[in-house]
Amino acid sequence: MHELLTAEEMGRADRITIEGGVPGAVLMENAGRGVADEISARFPDASTVALLCGPGNNGGDGFVAARHLLERGYRVRLGFDGDPAKLPADAAHMAARFKGAVGPLGPDLLADAEVIVDGLFGAGLARPIEGKLAALIDQANECGAPIIAIDVPSGIDGTTGAVRGTAIGASATVTFFRRKSGHLLLPGRLYCGAVRVVDIGIPAPFLKPSLTPSPMSPACGFPRFPGPRRRGTKYLRGHALVASGPMDATGAARLAARGALRAGAGLVTVASPRNALAVNAAQLTAIMVREADGPQGIAALLADPRKNAFLIGPAHGVGEETRAMVLVALKAGPAVVLDADALTSFADDKEALFEAIRAREAPVVMTPHEGEFARLFGDVAGDSKVEKARAAASRAARPWCSKARIPSRRRTQAVIDANGTPWLATAGSGDVLGGMVLGLLAQGMSGFLGASAAVWMHGQAARIFGPGLIAEDLPEMLPQVFRGLERDRAQG
Ligand SMILES: NC(=O)C1=CN([C@@H]2O[C@H](COP(=O)(O)OP(=O)(O)OC[C@H]3O[C@@H](n4cnc5c(N)ncnc54)[C@H](OP(=O)(O)O)[C@@H]3O)[C@@H](O)[C@H]2O)[C@@H](O)CC1
Ligand SMILES: Nc1ncnc2c1ncn2[C@@H]1O[C@H](COP(=O)(O)OP(=O)(O)O)[C@@H](O)[C@H]1O
Ligand SMILES: [K+]
């Protein structure tokens, strides 16, 4: 299951199911029982469970879970402060069916809890949590007992992943029907723990996956992942070209070039300014070096149609020359990856970049980090990163990639990466990512799939290496990433 839903889409799924004849109380019963099942499976030996129930249907799920836990022999401490008469109908029904004691929502609930169930707020979170409930959330987080969140940790926006006021830090989250985008987007992802999806009886045909983002995984298109052909040559695996910065800033291009080579490009060349030729040549072996000064130099190299993918930006320098080189490349035939300085160089002339992108057919992938994104697309509207990314993509009207979120030209396709690790927060890791995208485009992958696959592989490489990672390590982990993919494919 790869689809993700926004809170609004989930509400629509509920409504359509209920209108189709499945009572809301049945959905809530299934949801709450799913939560109780998760507690039973995870904590078979616990005796005391505290349930925090809020004023909406998330609280209703809590009442259902409490009833099942009571029946299974757990000692249940349920906190609910509201007026039962003001609960939504299904939640009120479930509150009436719960026969255990109900106490106030306060720190006493947590005193001897071995497990805490968070049913304060789910999809209906409408504003920042404040006052007494915010304090209770902080106390729950600090008390040391594991917390199981119902649907989404209270305080996390299920669509954007933003923290509203404060938020429950869950060990696990039990959600219903499908994961929501807020389970994957940062910072939400860090508050969810393991996310388990429970089937509550919403029929799958409701889904129009084209309207939803997807968590990125090999199943999102890796069956079309390129590899060498049995009787192929290196020329059939593409020739990637990377523009080097000046003499004192060449490392980024070499990192990217190594990423492209390890990602499988048949040939990789660093296009180097004359004054940096010796530095580059002294540090490259399988990767070639060619002289290319300014836009004419790049145009001359790209006149060879076998050079089918070009990356510019990492440590390239911001200014008129970089701008001119980007425009030359966009006029030529290869797939183009724009990163870092290649993007910043257009901060004051964005439309020139977008026009040049719109005027070409071959793929363009942009890999801005947050700062670079803001320089080019700071004024785009949208509540979530996904919406902002989609708005930006439609402005440039091309597939693009923004570290960890990749929408395409078609508004319908968006992917959120869930594979990255904080070990990637190291100088030059983004340069390697740009090179990996380049290497996949050189092998003929589309902009969208190439960028998606590269971001996933980048995270996977970092996971395999683990602690102590530096950018140079990333390309060297790719053989293991490929082996893992082969293994998964062989095992079906
Ligand atoms: N629909 C279905 O069939 C199914 C739904 N299911 C479950 O329902 C959940 C969604 O339920 P929901 O829509 O009732 O919203 P929920 O998250 O309980 O909160 C709304 C309440 O909180 C209040 N409130 C909001 N923010 C607040 C704040 N900061 N501080 C204080 N108060 C705040 C808000 O007040 P208001 O904004 O109206 O003043 C309102 O009273 C969903 O996550 C899933 O668990 C499952 O059972 C499957 C079947
Ligand atoms: N804490 C983190 N968790 C997951 N991924 C991260 C984290 N920090 C950085 N990354 C990833 O590392 C890369 C850093 O890119 P960037 O900032 O452009 O680095 P550089 O310019 O040094 O090459 C991006 O792909 C980003 O998503
Ligand atoms: K919750």
pLDDT tens-place string over residues 321-346: 999 999 999 999 999 999 999 999 99
Pocket flag, ligand 1, residue 56 (CB < 6 Å): yes
By alpha-carbon position, which residue is closest to atom 37 of ligand 1?
126
Pocket flag, ligand 1, residue 28 (CB < 6 Å): yes
> What separation in Å is there between the alpha carbon of 47 and the centre of ligand 1?
28
| Res 441: pLDDT | 96
Q: Which DSSP string do the residues of 96-165 spell out, in sequence order?
A: HH--S-EE-SSGGGGTT-SEEEEES-STT--S---HHHHHHHHHHHHS---EEEESS-TTB-TTT--B-S
First-last CA distance in the chain: 16
Same domain, 280 and 413: yes
Q: When comparing pLDDT for 218 and 333, which is higher?
A: 333
Ligand 1 atom with minimal separation from the 126 CA: 26
CATH of the domain at 403: 3.40.1190.20
Same domain, 385 and 463: yes
Tell me what percent of the residues of the chain surpass a pLDDT of 90: 75
Mean pLDDT for 27-49 is 97
Mean pLDDT for 394-409 is 57
Same domain, 89 and 166: yes
| Res 55: pLDDT | 97
Ligand 1 atom with minimal separation from the 121 CA: 17
Mean pLDDT for 460-478 is 97
Same domain, 92 and 205: yes
Same domain, 180 and 270: no
Ligand nearest to the CA of 149: 3
pLDDT band at residue 217 under the 50/70/90 scheme: low
pLDDT band at residue 486 under the 50/70/90 scheme: confident
Question: Is the pLDDT score of 403 beyond 60?
Answer: no
> What separation in Å is there between the alpha carbon of 89 and the centre of ligand 3?
19
Candidate ranges 13-17, 183-187, 287-291; pick with highest mean pLDDT: 287-291
By alpha-carbon position, which residue is closest to atom 21 of ligand 2?
430
Question: Is the pLDDT score of 397 beyond 80?
Answer: no
> What separation in Å is there between the alpha carbon of 100 and the centre of ligand 1?
22
Picking from 191, 212, 233, the residue at the C-terminal end of a domain is 212
Which residues, including other chains, have CB under 8 Å from residue 484's CB and lie 6 or more apart?
460, 464
Mean pLDDT for 358-371 is 93
ipTM of the prediction: 0.93
By alpha-carbon position, which residue is closest to atom 39 of ligand 1?
126
Ligand 1 atom with minimal separation from the 59 CA: 18
> What separation in Å is there between the alpha carbon of 424 and the centre of ligand 2?
5
Q: In whole angstroms, what is the distance from residue 42 CA to residue 116 CA?
A: 12
- How do residues 446-456 score in pLDDT, each as one tens digit? 998 899 899 99
| 339 falls within a domain | no
> What separation in Å is there between the alpha carbon of 154 and the centre of ligand 3?
4
Question: Is the pLDDT score of 406 beyond 60?
Answer: no
> What separation in Å is there between the alpha carbon of 128 and the centre of ligand 1?
13
| 337 falls within a domain | no
Question: Is the pLDDT score of 152 beyond 90?
Answer: yes
Ligand nearest to the CA of 60: 1
Pocket flag, ligand 1, residue 83 (CB < 6 Å): no
Q: In whole angstroms, what is the distance from residue 175 CA to residue 182 CA?
A: 11
Mean pLDDT for 457-470 is 97
Mean pLDDT for 73-102 is 96
3-class state of residue 408 by DSSP: coil
108: how many CB neighbours lie within 10 A of its CB? Answer: 12
Ligand nearest to the CA of 369: 2
Pocket flag, ligand 1, residue 88 (CB < 6 Å): yes
| Res 224: pLDDT | 61
Instruction: Mean pLDDT check: name the lowest of 120-124, 366-370, 378-382, 436-440.
Output: 378-382
Picking from 188, 212, 236, the residue at the C-terminal end of a domain is 212
Omega before residue 128 within 30° of 0, cis = no
Q: What is the DSSP letter of 467?
A: T
Same domain, 225 and 207: no
Residues tagged in the binding site annotation for (6S)-NADPHX: 57-61, 122-128, 151, 252, 369, 431
| Res 481: pLDDT | 93
Mean pLDDT for 30-49 is 98
Pocket flag, ligand 1, residue 57 (CB < 6 Å): yes
> What separation in Å is there between the alpha carbon of 252 and the centre of ligand 1?
48
By alpha-carbon position, which residue is closest to atom 40 of ligand 1?
56
CATH of the domain at 179: 3.40.50.10260
Could you give the dihedral angle defined by the CA atoms of residues 226, 230, 235 and 240, in that order, rounded to the nearest 10 degrees?
A: 20
Residues tagged in the binding site annotation for K(+): 58, 118, 154
Same domain, 206 and 187: yes
Residues with CB under 5 A from ligand 3 (ion): 118, 122, 149-150, 154
Q: Can you say how many angstroms the Cα of residue 479 is from the centroid of all Cα atoms in its chain?
A: 23
pLDDT band at residue 87 under the 50/70/90 scheme: very high
> What separation in Å is there between the alpha carbon of 329 and the centre of ligand 2?
26
Ligand nearest to the CA of 424: 2
Ligand nearest to the CA of 403: 2
By alpha-carbon position, which residue is closest to atom 46 of ligand 1?
28
Determine what percent of the chain falls in helix, strand and coil, rounding each to the nearest 5.
Answer: 45, 15, 35
| 346 falls within a domain | no
Mean pLDDT for 407-411 is 48
Mean pLDDT for 351-364 is 94
Question: Is the pLDDT score of 364 beyond 90?
Answer: yes
Total domains present in the chain: 2
| 8 falls within a domain | yes
Ligand 1 atom with minimal separation from the 10 CA: 1
> Taking CB atoms and a 6 Å cutoff, what residues make up the pocket around ligand 2?
340, 369, 403-404, 420-422, 424-425, 427-431, 433
Question: Is the pLDDT score of 408 beyond 80?
Answer: no
| Res 412: pLDDT | 54
| Res 392: pLDDT | 87
Q: When comparing pLDDT for 129 and 232, which is higher?
A: 129
Picking from 180, 212, 244, the residue at the C-terminal end of a domain is 212
Same domain, 266 and 396: yes
Q: When comparing pLDDT for 118 and 384, which is higher?
A: 118
Same domain, 148 and 275: no
Same domain, 259 and 177: no
Instruction: Mean pLDDT check: name the lowest of 42-46, 313-317, 413-417.
Output: 413-417
| 293 falls within a domain | no
| Mean predicted lDDT score pLDDT of the chain | 91
| 25 falls within a domain | yes
| Domain, as residue range, for 422 | 218-287+358-490
> What separation in Å is there between the alpha carbon of 170 and the centre of ligand 3?
9
- How do residues 273-286 score in pLDDT, each as one tens digit? 999 999 999 999 99
Same domain, 116 and 201: yes
The two three-digit tokens of residue 266, written as one number: 């048949």
By alpha-carbon position, which residue is closest to atom 14 of ligand 2?
430
By alpha-carbon position, which residue is closest to atom 13 of ligand 2?
430
Ligand nearest to the CA of 124: 1
| Res 210: pLDDT | 44
Instruction: Mean pLDDT check: name the lowest of 34-38, 98-102, 243-247, 449-453.
Output: 449-453
| Res 433: pLDDT | 98
Same domain, 123 and 236: no
> What separation in Å is there between the alpha carbon of 119 and the centre of ligand 1?
9
Cβ proximity of 338 and 367 under 8 Å: yes
